[in-house]
Amino acid sequence: MVQPAVLENLAWADEAIQAIEAEARTGRTFDAYQLQQRQGVADPPSVQQWGSVFKTAARRGIIQQAGFHITNRPTRRGGITRVWVGSPACTRKNSSGPGDTITETA
């Protein structure tokens, strides 16, 4: 049976948020393409979903904007894209000890 598009979108978004959280803990800067390369995130059902998951992660305090750069994504042909980094709370929790988890902030 084919999964309804809404459920497919939610499943992808959940996977993407988890990958953003994992990448944020590294302390490295990243964009959507680098996230895909490093964390293995699949292409979203619609490319517009990238903005939504990054906005959600930023609102939750997982990431913050670090700037802009020219993307290496081949299909963008040198387009400008936003660069993100783990928030101080996110990277601090990662370095404070084993078993720590990132909690959402309001």
Write out pLDDT tens, residues 71-90.
999 888 889 999 999 998 87
| Sign of the CA dihedral running 49, 54, 55, 60 | positive
pTM: 0.78
pLDDT at 30 over 50: yes
Class of domain 5-95: mainly alpha
Helix 32-39 with 5-25: angle, nearest 10 deg? 80
Would you give the distance in Å from CA 79 to the centre of its chain?
19
- Tens digit of pLDDT for each residue in 37-81? 999 999 999 988 999 999 999 999 999 999 999 999 988 888 999
Other beta carbons within 10 Å of 20: 26
Instruction: Kindly indicate the confidence band of residue 24, based on its pLDDT and cuts at 50, 70 and 90.
Output: very high
